[in-house]
A and B are shown apart, each in its own frame.
Chain A
Amino acid sequence: QITLKESGPTLVKPTQTLTLTCTVSGFSVGSRGVGVGWIRQPPGKALEWLALIYWDDDKRYSPSLKGRLTITKDTSKNQVVLTISNMGPVDTATYYCAHTPISTNWFVPWGQGTLVTVSS
C-alpha cells in the first residue's frame, strides 16, 4: 500500500524559507518510473501544482513561483523535500505531496496535507 505523509512547520514568518518533507512508504523514490509531486491549496481556493521530481532526479517547477522552489529527494530515507524561499502571506496554504508514476502522470495517492501559515 502506497502512503505519503507531509511534515514541516505549521507557522513561518514572512521572508523565511519553508522546508517540507514528504515521507513515503510502499514504494521507493529511487525506483525507475517513480515521481513525487507537490501541490498546494490556499484556504478556500483551488489546487496549485508546484513541483515534481522523478526517480532519475529530473525536476520540474511551476514558473509562477519564480525560482523560489527547490525539490530534492533522499533515497536512503525515502523522502522528498520541497523548499520555498521568501515566504509571504499569500503562501499560506495546505501543502500536499502525491505519488505520480511517469507511466501515467496522475496523482495517486495523495498525502493528507499539512497546513502552513505565514504570519509575523
Chain B
Amino acid sequence: DIQMTQSPSSVSASVGDRVTITCRASQGISNRLAWYHQKAGKAPKLLIYAASSLQTGVPSRFSGSGSGTDFTLTINNLQPEDFATYYCQQANTFPWSFGQGTKLEIK
C-alpha cells in the first residue's frame, strides 16, 4: 500500500502570509494526487487535482506542484476562510490513501 506523509502536521500563519504544505508518497504516483481542504464539521472539498490543476471555482491563490513522490500545496495571500485542515490523496494505485492532514491555524 502507498503511504502518504504530510508535513508539517500543523502550521500557524497570519492573514496575507504564504504557506507551503508538502506531501510525500512512499512510492511513485506520477501526478495522481489531489489536495482537499476541510473546515471544522464540514465535508472535505477538492482544491487541486492531478497535482497542479485548480478545481473550478477555487481561488488562484492556491497552487500545487510535484510529480512522482514529492508534492507541494502553496497558498498565497492567506485569507480568513483558508484556515482549515488540508489533506492530500493519491489515486494512482488501490487502495487509495490520504495523508494524515495539516492543520492551518491563525497566528
**Chain A residues packing against B (C-beta within 8 Å):** 37, 39, 46-49, 52, 60-64, 96, 104-113
Of A49, A104, A112, which one neighbours B43 at CB under 8 angstroms?
Answer: A112
User: Contacts A47-B44, A49-B96: A106 and B91 contacting too (C-beta < 8 A)?
Assistant: yes
Interface size counted on chain B using CB atoms at 8 A: 24
**Complex interface bits, B63-100 against A, C-beta within 8 A gives 1, otherwise 0:** 00000000000000000000000010101001111111
Most B C-beta atoms less than 10 A away, residue of A105, A106, A113: A106
Across the two chains, which residue of chain A brings its CB closest to B95? A62
User: Contacts A61-B95, A64-B95, A113-B43: A107 and B100 contacting too (C-beta < 8 A)?
Assistant: no
Contact A108 B46 (CB under 8 A): yes
Across the two chains, which residue of chain A brings its CB closest to B100? A46
What CA separation (Å) do A60 and B101 show in the bound complex?
23
Q: What are 22 A-B contacts defined by CB distance under 8 Å?
A: A37-B96, A46-B87, A46-B98, A46-B99, A46-B100, A49-B89, A49-B98, A60-B94, A60-B95, A63-B95, A64-B95, A96-B44, A105-B91, A105-B96, A106-B34, A107-B34, A107-B36, A107-B44, A108-B55, A109-B43, A109-B45, A113-B43
What CA separation (Å) do A116 and B87 show in the bound complex?
22
Shortest Cβ distance from residue B96 to the other chain A in the assembled complex, whole angstroms: 5
Q: Which residues from chain A contact B49 at a C-beta distance below 8 Å? A: 104, 106, 108
